[in-house]
Structures are given as structure tokens and as C-alpha cells.
């Protein structure tokens, strides 16, 4: 089979991988009738989407069909969009009838524990309970002393007066005391659960893997005092994806404070303007990478206290860096005693009952998004992380699993619109996401939401008023799979330049994409990062400047730089890297588990490697930093100008214009070209802004950094001008024009 035929059609099929998988990270190529970025440039089809939100009365007066003006191929599904939007409006009207979305989405001020001037109020939704008591250290775990009362909706409540001590009042439950709710189900079973709205849960693995909920009410001297304003995310997102626990060179679980003091300065130095934090919402199993959530309102205690997380975010804001949270509302841990599963003894409290409520691939539970209290719980969860911690954006995990009844399991997506709008969608989940995006963009102008969707659903990233789902970006999930496929299956001289350009630019017009070269999944044990695919044979022996620059290391460093640069330059309207990949981290991630004797040896990122001036990791770090700072200067991610002018298969040369810069890539493993003609839009004198062959990045220094290139009129080409350049093999240069 030829390379062209292998890549003729890209499909998706979900597979199991560890504790979490969203299907393959390979997304579909857009169908022949889809509107892509290149379609818009050449045909002028489509119209611009509306602002993310509008006044409430406008939302309720619309019918959700403006998407047909933006993407005319949606026209045959107009009735579907009318119906979906009608159901969205019903939810908004229902929420308005109970006080509006501002009040409704602050359920944490009503449910769980709330401390007033005179009392502690505790409320919990548990419709299958017939009796309930609050128990804990404060009452010697008595089920008789603090009984709750229930209302007609299954909401249980208790009000506990403070204890008077002279002229002062002290809460009857001490900060840090362990607490639970004890319930008797309608079947007569006595069960103990940790509160669903717990804000802090702790785990003592020497005793049990289960979490204990503690009453979180720290004294004022322990409460973090915010000093910086929130940061409105940049229109040019340069995202540094990070996991606090692995962000230390030592074989241990890192802390919020260590991340604040040691990692934030590196992110700032690199030039990333956004951090995306993984594994913050408390999860049952460390090796799940944070995707088996037990307590949705609790910041993971593995890394420290909620106050220390607040300090991390506030410090980032002081550096001008926005902070995003990896939100997992696609499923929940199936833990019973310390999770939401069977919370009130029934199979269907927060989740669908029966098989529909089980995610077989992930061994987890699926929310019933049609329920009033589930909607309140999840919307309030989003508000909580914004209001209490100051997050500036959310990356929604597992969106593909949410929005289809088949969860993407074993299903291929070819890009045919029938795959999206002909009965396989989960309408309740889609409408929940519409309400979420509407709420977040209404209440927090500039807030950013990103969808992890492998299916390529049209209108996912169009505004809710137009009938879209309302996300700002989707992840370009086919890009990392493309790079791994090339490195695994093809020789350098077999690389298909046209296909690389196609995969990097194949995104829907008006729907923005976050591009990335490799995902956190590819860093896990059993898989390989780009650096490992390129250089694993010699990464432990030849990454020192004191050793010979071997062909393997030379090739690996060159292609690592080029892959990152071309993806950053051409792949989307935002860019993401997973921590450590920017400097070619030499080892995979392997969290402590039974199979490795609970070792933390590989659950870390060795930032010390870039501090060792004898090692070659520093060159990759420098190059990544140079790209980020170049983007900060020229803002190509938000530029409307993008044009590919050359895709030469024999020469292995790719040339494109992005923003105000001219990008030239020679992927050929051996051939360098002198006086190579490059067509361009702009007349004038060109100088080098970035050169991957510069010795500063351990290149060979074959190009004079002071080179100037003069344009000439181009009478017969696709662009009005051309220049001639020297472009060595395995080299990329970025030029600016005067």
C-alpha cells in the first residue's frame, strides 16, 4: 500500500488505554462537503459567527438555525437544530423560573456545608433515603444526635448552632474534623457516604485507599488572600499542560507550593501564556491521570490544601499567565463509599440507572444530564472553580464520550454529517454543554472553553446563539497521531508533504483549533513521546555535549524542532505542549501501581536536565522558548492570513505564509538547496527571525544569521513575488519582510 493510499481516509476507533481513553486521539479528516480553513480562503463560503453570548431575551427569541448560514451543509439538518435549541431554551426558562442561572449555578452556597454567623448549615440531595444523620468526630459518630429533615424534593437539611463561649461563638464542628452522612435507604439498608459537595477530602493509604471528608473551615490566618486580578486569556493561546504531582525531578508527589515556586518561573521564561492543570479535581486513583473523579468540589489533597492551590493560581495571574482547569464531567468514578456512585443507595441518583449509566470502557458512571439536580450540581461545579479559585478557562475532557450514545466506542467518524445528527447523539449531554457554555460566557466575558472531541462534530465550537454548542476551541486530536504514524511507519524520504499540510490545516472554518504535537497519553508507559521515537536508542548515552553528535541525535534534535515549529505555525489558532516535551523529556510517565511496586520513579518530570549545561536538552528548551517569544511578537495564531504556497514532494519542501511571516521547511534528510525559489505575497527585503539550524539550538550554523533576501516580481506563479534562499536539509527558517 502506498503512502497516499494509507492516508487517503482517516477514521477514528476507540480503544482501551489505561484508566482513561477518549477513543483514539486520531480525528477525522473533514468530509468533501465540510467547510475547512482552506475552503474559506479559496471560496469565500460561509459567514461569520455571532458573539459568544447575547442578552437573555435574544437567546429566548432565537431558533438556533443561524448555523446554516455559517455552514450551509447543515441545512438538511435544520429541524434537528431547531429541536435542540428549543430544548436548550426550555432549560433556560426552567432555570429562570427558580431565580435565574446566576443563583442556580451557585448551588455550593446552598448544598454541602455552609457556615453563617450563627450556624453551620448542611444540605444534601438524596431522594432514595428515608432517614439521614450527620456523623463525625464532632459527635462521636452518633447517628441519633444530628438527624436531618427532608423536603418534598429529596433535599435533606440540618442547622447546627455555634457553641457559645462567653461573648464569642465557635462552630460546633472543628476545622479538619472527619464527617459523613449516614442514610437509611427506602429498602432499609444503612449506608455511609462522604458529602457529595465536599470541599476537602483526605486519603491515608497506610490505613485505606478510601477518602475521608473533612469539614473545611480554616481560620482566617490560614485563608489565602488574593493579591492579583484574574487574567483574561489571550487571543493567542500558548498552553502549557501540567500535572502538579509529577512536576518535580524527585521521585515523589509534587505539591502546589513546589509548582508555584519552581515550575511557574520556567513557564514564564518559556513564554507560555496559559497553564492547563490536570488532575486537580479529587480522584480515586493516582494512576488514572486524574480521570476517575470522586469529589468534584475538592482540590486534590495529594498536592496540598485548597489555599495552596489558590496561591498557585494567583501567582500565575501575577505573571500575566491565565490558568485553565481540566474539567471531567463526562463520567465519574464508580467508587461507592467515597464517590457519587449509589450515593443514596440507588443506582440512579446522579447517574442513569441500569446499563445506560455505566461506561464499560472506562469502568465508570455516566451522569443523567436530564435531571434538575444533576444540572445544578455540574453547573455549580463549574462556577465553584471559577469563583473560589479563579480559573480562567476550562478544558472539557471526554466530550466525544458525552455527546454520543455510543460514547465513541468502536465507531469510526468519516466526517459525514449523518454521523452527527441522525440519532446517535446524546441530546441531554449536548444541551448540558450548551447551557454550560452559555453560562460561562455570559457571566465571565473572555472565559475560554476547550472541547476534547475526536469526532469533529460540526458547530461544536460555534456560539450558542447561533445554534452551536458554544465551545471556543476544539483540540486538534489528529495531529499527534499523524506525527507518531510518520515516525513509526515511514522513512524520512517517504514523508508526504502534502498530507502533512492537509492534516495541519484541515479544520472547520470559524471553529478554532488547539494544535499540539504530542499528547499526555503518548508520554505514558507503553507509548513513546516524539523524543523517544526519534532518539530512544541513544538518549541515555549521547545527550551530553561531551559526546559525539551522532546521526541519531542530530536527526532527532532536528526533526523534534521542525515538528514543533510547523505544528505551532500551521496547526491551529492555539498551541499546547505537555510539560517536559518542550525539552525532549527522556522518559515516559508511569504512575505508581501494582505492576511497578507502587514506584514513583517515572511519575516525575526531570527539569534538572535543562539546568545541566553539559546536556543537550537545553537546546530544545531554547528553541521552544524562541518559538513562544516569536509568537508573542507576531501573534500569528490569531491572524486571519494563512496560505500554503509550496508542497514539493520530491524536494520535501513546505512553504507557507502565516500572519506576517514566511515559513520555509526542508524536511529532506540529505538534500540542501541553493537559490531555492520561494513565492510570497509581500515585496521587500526579508531577514531571518528564527532558524532551526542556528548553533544556539545545536544546529550546524549553515545559514548566515544576517542573511537578507530580496524579492522579485513573479509573473507566472500563484504569488505576486518571489525570493531565493539557501535552505539546508532538515532545516526550518522563519522570515520577516520589511
pLDDT of the residue at 316: 98
- Which residue segments constitute the domains of the chain, with CATH numbers given? 117-222 (2.60.40.10), 237-636 (3.20.20.80), 639-737 (2.60.40.1180)
Helix locations, 581-715, DSSP H? 608-611, 617-634
Beta bridge partners of 644: 656
Residue 367: how many CA atoms within 13 Å on its side-chain side? 30
Neighbours of 548 (CB within 10 A): 9
CB atoms within 10 A of CB 42: 9
pLDDT tens for residues 34-47?
445 444 343 333 45
The pTM of this model reads 0.93
Helix pair angle (78-97, 372-389), 10° resolution: 70
- Give residue for cell 543537550: 616
pLDDT in tens, 376-405: 999 999 999 999 999 999 999 999 999 999
Residue in 497, 404, 523, 524 with CA at minimum distance from that of residue 453: 404
> Are 156 and 123 a contacting pair, CB within 8 Å?
yes
**From CA 480, how far away is CA 490, in angstroms rounded?**
15
Catalytic, 452? Answer yes
Please, are residues 197 and 124 in contact by the beta-carbon 8 Å criterion? yes
Residues facing 677 on adjacent strands: 724
Residue 649 known to be catalytic = no
| Residue 543: per-residue pLDDT | 97
The position carrying cell 492537509 is 502
**Which pLDDT value is given to residue 55?**
61
Residue 165 confidence (pLDDT): 87
Q: Residue 57: its pLDDT value, please?
A: 58
Q: Give the phi and the psi of residue 601 in degrees, each rounded to 5.
A: -60, -35
Question: Which residue in the list 452, 573, 582, 694 is annotated as catalytic?
Answer: 452
Residues 298 and 198: beta-carbon distance below 8 Å = yes
- Residues counted in the chain: 738
Q: Are 277 and 325 in contact (CB under 8 A)?
A: yes
Residue recorded with cell 497521531: 481
What residues in the chain have per-residue pLDDT under 70? 1-48, 51-57
Upper half-sphere CA count for residue 137 (Cβ side, 13 Å):
10
Contact 156, 166 (CB under 8 A): no
Going by the DSSP 8-state scheme, the letter that residue 323 receives in this structure is E
Cell triple for residue 628?
513562544
User: Catalytic residue among 212, 236, 241, 397, which?
Assistant: 397
User: If DSSP codes are grouped into helix, strand and coil, which group holds residue 105?
Assistant: coil
Strand partners, 651: none
Determine which helix (DSSP H) or strand (DSSP E) holds 393, and give its type and residue range: strand 393-396
pLDDT in tens, 586-640: 988 889 988 899 899 999 999 999 999 999 999 999 999 999 999 999 999 999 9
CB 14 within 8 A of CB 409: yes
Cell readout for 726 is 539557501
Q: How far apart are CA 638 and CA 574, in angstroms?
A: 8
Q: What is the pLDDT of residue 52?
A: 67
Neighbours of 736 (CB within 10 A): 19
- The residue with cell 508526504 is 496
Q: Residue holding cell 504514524?
A: 485
Q: Output the pLDDT for position 53.
A: 65
For 418, the grid coordinates are 449523518
Amino acid at each position: 500500500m502506498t503512502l497516499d493510499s494509507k492516508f487517503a481516509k482517516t477514521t477514528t476507533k476507540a480503544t482501551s488505554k489505561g484508566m482513561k481513553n477518549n477513543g483514539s486521539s486520531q480525528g477525522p479528516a473533514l468530509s468533501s462537503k465540510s467547510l475547512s480553513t482552506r475552503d474559506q480562503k479559496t471560496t469565500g463560503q460561509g459567514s461569520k459567527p455571532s458573539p459568544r453570548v447575547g442578552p437573555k431575551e435574544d437567546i429566548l427569541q432565537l431558533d438556533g438555525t443561524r448555523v446554516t448560514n455559517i455552514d450551509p451543509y447543515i441545512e438538511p439538518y435544520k429541524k434537528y437544530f431547531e429541536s435542540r435549541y428549543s430544548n436548550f431554551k426550555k432549560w433556560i426558562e426552567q432555570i429562570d423560573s427558580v431565580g435565574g442561572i446566576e443563583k442556580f449555578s451557585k448551588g455550593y452556597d446552598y448544598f454541602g456545608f455552609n457556615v453563617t454567623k450563627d450556624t453551620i448549615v448542611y444540605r444534601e440531595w438524596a431522594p432514595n433515603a428515608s432517614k439521614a444523620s450527620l456523623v463525625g468526630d464532632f459527635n462521636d459518630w452518633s447517628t441519633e444526635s444530628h438527624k436531618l429533615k427532608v423536603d418534598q424534593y429529596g433535599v435533606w437539611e440540618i442547622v447546627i448552632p455555634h457553641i457559645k463561649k462567653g461573648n464569642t461563638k465557635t462552630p460546633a464542628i472543628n476545622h479538619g474534623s472527619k464527617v459523613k452522612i449516614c442514610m437509611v435507604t427506602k429498602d432499609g439498608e444503612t449506608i455511609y457516604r462522604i458529602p457529595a459537595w465536599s470541599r476537602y477530602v483526605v486519603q491515608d493509604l497506610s490505613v485505606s485507599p478510601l477518602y475521608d471528608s473533612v469539614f473545611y473551615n480554616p481560620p482566617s490566618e490560614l485563608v489565602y488572600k488574593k493579591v492579583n486580578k484574574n487574567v483574561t486569556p489571550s487571543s493567542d493561546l500558548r498552553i502549557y499542560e501540567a500535572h502538579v504531582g509529577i512536576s518535580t525531578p524527585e521521585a515523589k508527589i509534587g505539591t502546589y507550593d513546589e509548582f508555584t515556586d519552581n515550575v511557574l518561573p520556567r513557564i514564564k521564561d518559556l513564554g507560555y501564556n496559559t497553564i492547563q492543570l490536570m488532575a486537580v479535581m479529587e480522584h480515586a486513583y493516582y494512576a488514572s491521570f486524574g480521570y476517575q473523579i470522586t469529589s468534584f468540589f475538592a482540590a486534590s489533597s495529594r498536592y496540598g490544601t485548597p489555599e495552596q492551590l489558590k496561591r498557585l493560581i494567583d501567582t500565575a495571574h501575577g505573571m500575566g499567565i491565565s490558568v485553565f482547569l481540566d474539567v471531567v464531567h463526562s463520567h465519574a468514578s464508580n467508587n461507592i463509599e467515597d464517590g457519587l456512585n449509589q450515593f443514596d443507595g440507588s443506582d440512579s441518583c446522579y447517574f442513569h440507572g441500569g446499563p445506560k449509566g455505566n461506561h464499560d470502557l472506562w469502568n465508570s458512571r455516566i451522569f443523567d444530564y436530564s435531571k434538575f439536580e444533576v444540572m445544578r450540581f455540574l453547573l455549580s461545579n463549574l462556577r465553584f472553580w471559577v469563583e473560589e479559585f479563579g480559573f480562567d478557562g476550562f478544558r472539557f475532557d471526554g466530550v466525544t464520550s458525552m455527546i454520543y450514545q455510543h460514547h465513541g466506542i468502536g465507531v469510526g467518524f468519516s466526517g459525514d454529517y449523518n454521523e452527527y445528527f441522525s440519532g446517535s447523539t446524546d441530546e441531554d449531554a449536548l444541551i448540558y454543554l450548551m447551557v454550560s457554555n452559555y453560562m460561562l460566557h455570559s457571566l465571565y466575558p473572555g472565559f475560554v472553553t476547550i472541547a476534547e472531541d475526536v469526532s469533529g462534530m460540526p458547530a461544536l465550537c460555534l456560539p450558542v446563539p447561533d445554534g452551536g454548542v458554544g465551545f471556543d476551541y476544539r483540540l486538534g486530536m489528529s495531529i499527534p497521531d499523524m506525527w507518531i504514524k510518520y515516525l513509526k511507519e515511514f522513512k524520512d524520504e517517504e514523508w508526504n508533504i502534502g498530507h502533512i499540510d492537509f492534516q495541519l490545516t484541515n479544520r472547520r472554518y470559524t471553529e478554532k483549533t488547539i494544535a499540539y504535537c504530542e499528547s499526555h497519553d503518548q508520554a505514558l508507559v507503553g507509548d513513546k513521546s516524539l523524543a523517544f521515537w526519534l532518539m530512544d536508542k541513544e538518549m541515555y548515552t549521547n545527550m551530553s555535549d561531551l559526546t559525539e553528535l551522532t546521526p541519531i541525535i542530530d536527526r532527532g534534535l532536528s526533526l523534534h524542532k521542525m515538528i514543533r515549529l510547523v505544528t505551532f505555525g500551521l496547526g491551529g489558532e492555539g498551541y499546547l505542549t505537555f510539560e517536559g516535551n518542550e525539552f525532549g523529556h527522556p522518559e515516559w510517565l508511569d504512575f505508581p501501581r501494582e505492576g511497578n511496586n507502587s514506584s514513583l520513579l517515572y511519575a516525575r518530570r526531570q527539569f534538572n536536565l535543562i539546568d545541566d549545561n553539559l546536556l543537550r536538552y537545553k537546546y530544545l528548551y531554547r528553541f521552544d522558548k524562541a518559538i513562544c517569544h516569536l509568537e508573542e511578537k507576531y501573534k500569528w495564531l490569531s491572524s486571519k492570513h494563512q496560505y500554503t504556497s509550496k508542497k514539493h514532494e520530491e524536494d520535501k519542501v513546505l512553504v507557507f505564509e502565516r500572519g506576517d511571516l514566511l515559513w520555509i521547511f526542508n524536511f529532506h534528510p540529505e538534500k540542501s538547496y541553493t537559490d531555492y525559489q520561494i513565492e510570497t505575497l509581500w515585496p521587500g527585503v526579508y531577514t531571518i527571525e528564527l532558524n532551526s539550524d542556528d548553533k544556539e539550538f545545536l544546529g550546524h550554523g549553515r545559514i548566515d544569521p544576517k542573511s537578507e533576501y530580496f524579492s522579485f516580481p513573479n509573473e507566472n506563479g500563484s504569488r505576486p513575488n518571489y525570493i531565493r534562499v539557501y535552505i539546508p536539509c532538515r532545516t526550518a527558517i522563519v522570515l520577516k519582510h520589511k
